[in-house]
């Protein structure tokens, strides 16, 4: 298990280096481009298989215990260690990352985005996977920062080189926002590590802030929180997200929404909550306020984009929906209760599955119509996907109702638990304030349902297909292979939430109690 987790983290980096080498003669297939794309599918498939084996070998009777740990001294002078491990909080995120990266590699094998050589594309995809997996596996503050920053360069190039219209400004906006946030976050991490005398996240979590004064905790939470909030993204630090999603290639949008946004919220749970609880309590009401504003703002922005005549872009609308959905995650974290934090972690996974599927579907619609503009898609009689490509239309409607939180699907539980957490926040937090936040969040769920149903009506419904007009290509075999796992897991998590909550709850209880099981 120890070797397996280390392999999962390092394996994609080795695969990225191998992708840049010439393919062996017997493995070239029809062309070198095909060989390197097949290499990407193989490496990500092996990493996914290793992640599944790790999950199966995980001691599910002790999900609060850090397992598969590696602890090697790296920089003795600063007590920086190569410390890896996984528990019930990080394990689902590791598996989600491995799954989405494999599905993106598989999709790209058949539908490579337009741009330069696939060799660089596959290498960047694997470096991105390595950085994301490392973020969820490392247990040292400086290593966390390095992993957190590793994903920026590959995502920048994926947007700038393989993206659509406006890709370069969008890529620059993405990297400048996240880099500026990360600089502030680094200062907070250094403050915590130097004041406490260690960068070890487990030791700091067990200490539970007792070695840090209130003023140090407040400054640390503010600095670290800004960097994490940019990546989440929290309103009003979200403005890089819609441009990045609109310009990114389909697989770039899937990974950006599915796993990169989770790095910010994971940092709040893994670092801020247990290491600086008193400082977090000072800022929790403000975090909750920004979160619910983001929920309403994201929904209103989506309603504006979905309105006829607004020239709204389907990918941009899904990007704004992420601002709202991640607002529920932040609200759950801000309650500082087991119910709210479990809801936040559940909503993280649900958002990764559902929004990953939505971006896959938006990319498929754009490929078929040549545009993602909602007015063009709707046209005079509606795009009528139900009549022209019924399976594609059905999947888009399924993803939409899952995203709006229909009971029985994954999107329901996380948002509900976040609102329940706000109903009864942690001791020391103002209950009237959080009841107000809960009410505003409840309004956001209604607005979410409104804009998603408008999108389904405009894109999927409409008049009958005119005589003589060709049907669109419906779901292809490779698309079916890439999307089916997301559909199945969305249903499974909705019908059987105990699978995920059984992992996260003991770990969250221990985390919030200062390391006590």
Q: What is the DSSP string of 145-198?
A: HHHHHHTHHHHHHHHHHH--TTHHHHHHHHHHHHHHHHHHHHHHHHHHHHHHT-
Cβ pair 40, 19 in contact under 8 A: yes
What is the DSSP secondary-structure string of 398-417? HHHHHHTT-TTSHHHHHHHH
Around Cβ 496, how many Cβ atoms within 10 Å? 11
Q: For residues 286 and 52, what is the distance between their CA atoms, to the nearest angstrom?
A: 38
Burial of 432 (0-12, 13-18, 19+ CB in 10 A): exposed
User: What is the mean predicted confidence (pLDDT) over 2-24?
Assistant: 86
Lowest model confidence (mean pLDDT) among 327-336, 407-416, 456-465: 456-465
Please report, to the nearest 10 degrees, the dihedral formed by the alpha carbons of residues 23, 27, 30, 34 taken in order: -60
Tokens at residue 509, please?
């209880």
In Å, how far are 113, 445, 459 from 229, measured between CA atoms?
Answer: 30, 22, 33
Band the pLDDT of 100: cuts 50, 70, 90: very high
**pLDDT in the model for residue 467:** 55
Confidence bin at 517 (pLDDT 50/70/90): very low
Region of 73 on the Ramachandran plot (φ > 0 left; ψ -120 to 50 alpha; else beta)? beta
pTM (2 decimals)? 0.91
What's the pLDDT score for residue 468? 55
The Cα 370–Cα 366 span in angstroms is 5
- Backbone φ/ψ region at 48: left (φ over 0), alpha (ψ -120 to 50), beta: alpha
How many CB atoms neighbour CB 110 within 10 A? 14
Confidence of residue 135 (pLDDT cuts 50, 70, 90): very high
pLDDT band for position 30 (cuts 50, 70, 90): low
Per the structure block, which two tokens stand in for 385? 């996907």
Instruction: Return the ∠ at Cα 251 (arms to 49 and 234), rounded to 5°.
Output: 100
Residue 466: pLDDT over 60: no
Closest to 280 in 3D by CA, of 328, 207, 214:
214
Note the residue count of the chain: 517
Q: What is the DSSP string of 488-506?
A: HHHHHHHH-THHHHHHHHH
Residue 367: count other Cβ atoms within 10 Å of its Cβ. Answer: 13
Q: 209 phi and psi, to 5 degrees?
A: 85, 0
Q: How many CB atoms neighbour CB 120 within 10 A? A: 18
Q: Tell me, what's the pLDDT at 105?
A: 93
Nearest of 488, 515, 498, 512 to residue 346 by alpha carbon = 498
What is the rounded distance in angstroms from the CA atom of residue 115 to the CA atom of residue 3? 37
CB 119 within 8 A of CB 18: no
Q: Say how many Å lie between the first and final Cα of the chain, rounded.
A: 22
- Greater pLDDT, 385 or 266: 266
Phi, psi at 304, each rounded to 5°: -65, -40
Joined tokens for residue 333 = 């974290």
Using DSSP's 3-state secondary structure scheme, residue 56 falls into helix
Q: What is the mean pLDDT of the chain?
A: 87
pLDDT in tens, 44-70: 999 999 999 999 988 888 888 888 888
pLDDT tens, position by position, 168-225: 888 888 888 888 888 899 999 999 888 888 888 888 888 887 888 899 999 999 999 9
Neighbours of 497 (CB within 10 A): 19
């Amino acid at each position: 298990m120890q070797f397996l987790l280390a392999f999962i983290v390092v394996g994609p980096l080795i695969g990225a280096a191998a992708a840049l080498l010439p393919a062996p003669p017997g493995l070239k297939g029809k062309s070198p481009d095909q060989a390197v794309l097949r290499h990407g599918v193989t490496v990500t498939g092996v990493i996914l298989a290793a992640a599944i084996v790790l999950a199966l070998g995980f001691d599910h009777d002790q999900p609060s215990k850090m397992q598969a740990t590696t602890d090697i001294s790296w920089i003795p002078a600063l007590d920086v260690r190569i410390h890896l491990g996984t528990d019930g909080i990080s394990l689902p995120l590791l598996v989600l990352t491995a799954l989405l990266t494999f599905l993106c590699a598989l999709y790209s094998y058949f539908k490579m985005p337009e741009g330069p050589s696939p060799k660089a594309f596959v290498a960047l995809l694997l470096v991105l996977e390595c950085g994301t997996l490392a973020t969820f596996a490392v247990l040292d503050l400086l290593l966390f920062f390095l992993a957190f920053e590793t994903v920026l360069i590959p995502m920048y190039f994926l947007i700038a080189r393989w993206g659509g219209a406006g890709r370069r400004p969008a890529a620059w906006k993405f990297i400048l926002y996240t880099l500026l946030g990360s600089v502030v976050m680094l200062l907070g991490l250094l403050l915590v590590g130097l004041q406490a005398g260690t960068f070890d996240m487990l030791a700091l979590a067990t200490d539970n802030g007792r070695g840090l004064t209130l003023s140090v905790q407040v400054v640390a939470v503010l600095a670290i929180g800004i960097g994490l909030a940019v990546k989440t993204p929290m309103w009003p630090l979200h403005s890089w997200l819609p441009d990045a999603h609109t310009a990114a290639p389909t697989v770039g949008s899937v990974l950006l929404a599915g796993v990169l946004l989770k790095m910010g919220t994971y940092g709040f749970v893994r670092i801020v909550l247990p290491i600086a609880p008193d400082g977090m309590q000072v800022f929790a009401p403000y975090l909750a306020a920004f979160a619910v504003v983001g929920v309403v703002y994201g929904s209103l922005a989506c309603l504006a984009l979905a309105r006829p005549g607004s020239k709204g872009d389907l990918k941009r609308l899904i990007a704004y929906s992420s601002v709202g959905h991640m607002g529920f995650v932040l609200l759950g974290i801000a309650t500082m209760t087991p119910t709210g934090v479990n809801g936040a972690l559940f909503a993280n996974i649900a958002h990764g599955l559902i929004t990953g599927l939505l971006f896959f579907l938006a990319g498929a619609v754009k490929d078929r119509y040549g545009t993602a503009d909602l007015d063009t898609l709707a046209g005079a009689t509606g795009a009528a996907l139900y009549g022209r490509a019924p399976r594609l239309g059905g999947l888009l409607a399924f993803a939409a109702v899952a995203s709006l939180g229909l009971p029985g699907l994954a999107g329901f539980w996380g948002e509900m638990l976040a609102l329940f957490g706000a109903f009864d926040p942690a001791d020391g937090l103002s209950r009237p304030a959080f009841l107000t936040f809960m009410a505003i969040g409840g309004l956001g769920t209604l607005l979410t349902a409104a804009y998603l149903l408008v999108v389904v009506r405009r894109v999927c419904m409409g008049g009958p297909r005119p005589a003589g007009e060709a049907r669109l290509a419906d779901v292809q075999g490779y698309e079916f292979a890439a999307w089916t796992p997301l559909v199945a897991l969305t249903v499974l998590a909705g019908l059987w939430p105990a699978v995920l909550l059984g992992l996260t709850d003991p770990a969250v209880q221990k985390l919030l109690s200062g390391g006590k099981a």
